[in-house]
Structure 1
Amino acid sequence: MTLSFADFASNLTYDDLPEAVLQVLRRSFLDTMGVAAIGSTTEMSEAAYKGATAMFGVTSTGPARVMMRGTELSPAGAAMANAFTVDSVDAHDGTSHCKGHAGSAIFPALMAVADAEASLGRPVDGKTFAMLLALAYEVSYRAGLAQHATCADYHTSGAWTAVGVAVAVARMLGLDKEQIRHAAGIAEYHGPRSQMMRCIDFPTMLRDGVGWGAPTGVTAAYLAQAGFTGAPALTCEGTEEAHFWEDLGQAWRLVEDTHYKPYPCCRWAHPSVDAVADLMRDHDLHHSQIASVNIKTFHNATRLAGHAPATLDEFAYGIAFPVATMIVRGQIGVPELTNDTLQDPDIQRISKATQLIDDPHYTKISVGKRWAEVSMTLTDGRIISAAPRTPRGDTDMPLSDQEISDKFHLFTDPVLGRTRADEIEALSTDFDALNAGDLMRLNELCLTAP
């Protein structure tokens, strides 16, 4: 018999989680905190923090602290500021099948509510937190698949992560099965069904919608606790969507679908970035030898373009400029996430000489995978090419634990210092074994200012 999402949500325990699920959650914990650290330095994070502070003061739900700042807001306010902070650097985990990201909403929201619960004398231990994370990811991914299959527009991740956040927060607050159903329905109804391709065509700080998806999910759970009704969530309980839930509790979408990013830019750019990195290395080239770059890829990726970004938001939602950055700098790391990079004449030259080609074949096969094929023309007239490829970090080409660690330290050490970064890494990579006190220590490291 198919397990209903409400039964799954109300009965899941830590002991139900396979080791493969825990491995993904541990990697995502470390990876997300690294992105939060560097994200806290961005203009987008600062603006969102000021907005959240203005709207969401501390209430009877208890105070929740803002990531990397320590300011106390309501759980919804902290979830909002935290989610915008993580989303401000496009390097967090994702799911190609849902064309979006879950961890950037889930970690900010659940850490905020757990912080508030601890302030009220109800701390959460590592096993419980792992169960809640797994629940939020699984419901988010399946709701996302259902939404993409039944809605005409391509909505941002905030639309479906709101549902997963609501269900997990409702469970953390001790709500029963019917209240969990209502929390999911409230979050789905109020979730930000924002248009993803609009932000790709016109990149701004709106990003992937999780800045409103996270607090929407948190608010939905507290509303359900207060008796507000909203069931059913059609993405979870609708007839058309039922097949996305048939193997719930038996198969784990979060294991099959979660990917990690080596670079802080849209994943659609990653196969091209990897290709030019390999060509530059294999042919021992200097960027002055590159005359032009051709990139064949799928249709939506060509809309990223990004030949002359004026802001870091436009840099994140581009292909030409990140590719040129890799050619010139040999990396896309913290030093490249500055306005100075946007003015680099060498990068600008190659970016303007990069052509994106809308290829029908790659559009057809870029379902669940993202394809690109790169060739470069050298100043001596030679043309060198790389084989068609998809991004590293997918489950068929996973990043190693060492690569996740290296990325974490690349982002975190300059912001928090190596000692604090080491402690976060040590605790987060085994967080599900922590008692409530040690998990609070991990939260303390992530939720207070440097």
Structure 2
Amino acid sequence: MPPTFDTFAHDLRYDDLPQDLLWVLRRSFLDTMGVAAVASTTDMANRARRAARLMFGATEAGTARILMDGTPLSPAGAAMAGAFTIDAVDAHDTTSPCKGHAGAAVFPALMAMAEVTGPMTGADFAAHLAVGYEVSCRAGLAQHATCPDYHTSGAWTAVGVATAAARMLGADPETIRHAAGISEYHGPRSQMMRCIDHPTNLRDGVGWGAPSGIVAAYLAREGFTGAPALTCEEAPDFWADLGTHWRTVKDTSYKAYPCCRWAHPSIDAVKHLMAEHGLTHTDIASIDIRTFHNATRLAGHRPATPDEFAYGIAFPVATMAVRGQIGVPDLAPETLQDPDILRVSDSIRLIDDAHFTKISQGKRWAQVTIHTTDGHSFEDQPRTPKGDNDLPLSDAEISEKFHLFTDPVLGRDRADEIEGLSTRFDSLSADDFARLIDVCLTAPT
């Protein structure tokens, strides 16, 4: 018999973690910190930090610092501000079967908990992190299979955060059960397509999912009841191989670009066609993108805000066509007024393709045709995004993305230190792991 999720969370030890899981967690640590660095410069992150300072001051639980900022708050406050920060740039790790993101909530929440639960080694943190990821992924699968609406990542990461946070507080299995139940009941059952149709700072819900999980863990510790979590206890098919197979390994993938994954196959296709045929953006007369239905609902051709950029398809594709990358300079507000990008974006036609809609279950399909000013047409093959597990980013590509995002914000020396520590975090002593936490939480200078 497989363990129940609560005994799994309580009993898991570092020596139980397979090497392929540790490889994923190391990659996610590096990738998430890179996104946090660039995202810390955004207006959305500033708003979240200001609100957290107003509402979530230090408490009897102790103080935890905001990611890439350093302000000491309660653990729930630091988790909220940190999760909103990471979510401000849509480039964090993803799980396509759950149609969302685990690390954007799990990392800021558990790093905040690490600040208030005392010294720990990197191996200790790895076991907590594994619980947070695995429970989040399985709760997400169960929720998507049993709920009629497409909910944001905050809805199911709240359960994973609560489970891992209760473990970090030394809870027994029954208390962990109640923490998961409280977080599922109180977590943000937010509808993702609302933010696709009307992009705002709400993004993927992790800004409320992360603190919801932490508050649930503390409530359960104080005797508050809330079990069962239906996604954990009444959807047995999604938990039958718990402890023997890791959804975190199977489902975690990485983004090459800082925008909605649904736009990525089209960005890849335009990049490929332009390189293959020696095209520049001045050669482009128009672009046709055939893709699945929900992708055609991404924001319009002329985004007015970074939120609309993040949940867009035409404008990010045009940005790649004009600039050949989507990095830190390309996330600046001035990019939204770039006349060359706007011209290409306006030329893009989105075509709702029924076949791609049918096959885009756990995958994201698109096919691009570029029409040139001299009358030629170049058609790419249908494709899914680079970065998915069948076409993964290499360690070198993860590193390149990290430095593209981090170096302009933190400087190369600090970026190198984060990379050197995070890519072997599970082998760090308590002192060295504390140094990694410190270098990730301190504000850019």
What's the TM-score bracket when you normalise by the shorter of the two chains?
over 0.9
Superposition map of 1:349-360 within 5 A = 349-360=343-354
Q: Which residue type is aligned with residue 114 of structure 2? A: A
Counterpart CA distance in 2 for 1:422 and 1:346 is 35
Tell me what 2:269 maps to.
275
Query: Is the contact between residue 422 and residue 436 of structure 2 (CA under 8 Å) also seen in structure 1?
Result: yes
Distance 2:124 2:35 in 1: 24
Residues 425-444 of structure 1: pairs in structure 2 closer than 5 A: 425-444=419-438
Q: Within 5 Å, which residues of 2 pair with 1:319-338?
A: 319-338=313-332
Name the structure 1 match of 2:195: 199
Report if the CA contact (8 A) 2:196-2:299 is conserved.
no
Give the SS at the match of 2:340: helix
Letter of the structure 1 residue corresponding to residue 225 of structure 2: T
In the alignment, which residue of structure 1 is the partner of 2:410?
416
Is 1:381 aligned to 2:371, yes or no? no
RMSD: 0.6
SS in 2 for 1:163: helix
Mapped to 1, the partners of 2:435 and 2:361 lie a distance apart of: 41
1:143-184 deviation digits (Å, cap 9, x = unpaired): 000000000011000000000000001001100010000000
State the Cα deviation string for residues 246-281 of structure 1 (Å, max 9, x = none).
000010000000010010000000000000001111
Partner of 1:223: 219
Structure 2 residues without counterparts, runs of 5 or longer: none
Rounded to whole Å, the distance in 2 between the matches of 1:187 and 1:149 is 19
Report the identity percentage.
70
DSSP 3-state at the match of 1:2: coil
Aligned to 2:2: 2
What's the offset of the Cα at 1:305?
4.1
Structure 1 residue 211, shift from structure 2 partner = 0.1
How far did 1:306 drift?
A: 2.5
Contact conserved, 2:31 with 2:93, CA < 8 A, in 1? yes
Given the alignment, which residue of 141, 149, 157 partners 1:161?
Answer: 157
Map Cα deviations across residues 11-66 of structure 1 (whole Å, 9 max, x no partner): 11111100000000000000000000001000000000011111101011110001
Give a deviation string over 1:408-445, Cα, whole Å, max 9, x none. 11111111111111011000000000111111100000
Residue pair 1:307, 1:352 contacting (<8 A) in 2 also: yes
Asked if 2 retains the 8 angstrom alpha-carbon contact of 1:166 and 1:220, the reply is yes
Using the alignment, how far apart are the partners of 2:185 and 2:61 within structure 1? Answer: 23
Q: Is the 8 A contact 2:414 2:439 kept in 1?
A: yes
User: How far apart are the structure 1 equivalents of 2:7 and 2:113?
Assistant: 22
Contact 1:9-1:135 at 8 Å conserved across structures? yes
Task: Please give the residue correspondences for 1:153-192 in structure 2 after superposition, counting only pairs within 5 Å.
Answer: 153-192=149-188
The structural deviation recorded for 1:379 is 0.6
The residue correspondences of 1:129-148 to structure 2 (distance < 5 A) are 129-148=125-144
Counterpart check, 1:233 vs 2:222: no
Structure 2 equivalent of residue 27 of structure 1: 27
Matching of residue 57 in structure 1 with residue 51 in structure 2: no
Q: Secondary structure at the match of 1:295?
A: strand
- Whether contact under 8 Å (2:265, 2:383) holds in the other structure is yes
Task: Report the equivalent of 2:148.
Answer: 152
For structure 1, list consecutive stretches of 5 or more residues without a partner in the other structure: none
Structure 1 segments (4+ residues) deviating >3 Å = none
CA distance in 1, matches of 2:357, 2:281: 30
What secondary structure, in the 3-state scheme, does the structure 2 residue paired with 1:105 have?
helix
- Equivalent residues of 2:299, 2:309 under 8 A apart: no
- Looking at structure 2, the residues matched to 4 and 177 of structure 1 have their Cα atoms a distance apart, in angstroms, of 9
TM-score (norm 2): 0.99
Q: Secondary structure at the match of 1:387?
A: coil
The match for 1:361 is 355
Matched, 1:257 2:251: yes
Give the Cα–Cα distance (whole angstroms) in 2 for the partners of residues 300 and 16 of structure 1.
39
2: CA distance, partners of 1:160 / 1:72: 27
TM-score by length of 1: 0.98
Task: Kindly provide the amino acid, as one letter, of the partner of residue 63 in structure 2.
Answer: P
Any conservation in 2 of the 1:305–1:356 contact (CA below 8 Å)? no
* Partner Cα distance (2:400, 2:227) in 1: 44
Aligned-partner Cα distance in 2 for 1:184–1:444 = 29
Query: Which letter maps to 2:337?
Result: Q
Kindly indicate whether the alpha-carbon contact (under 8 Å) linking 1:20 and 1:255 is maintained by their aligned counterparts in 2.
yes
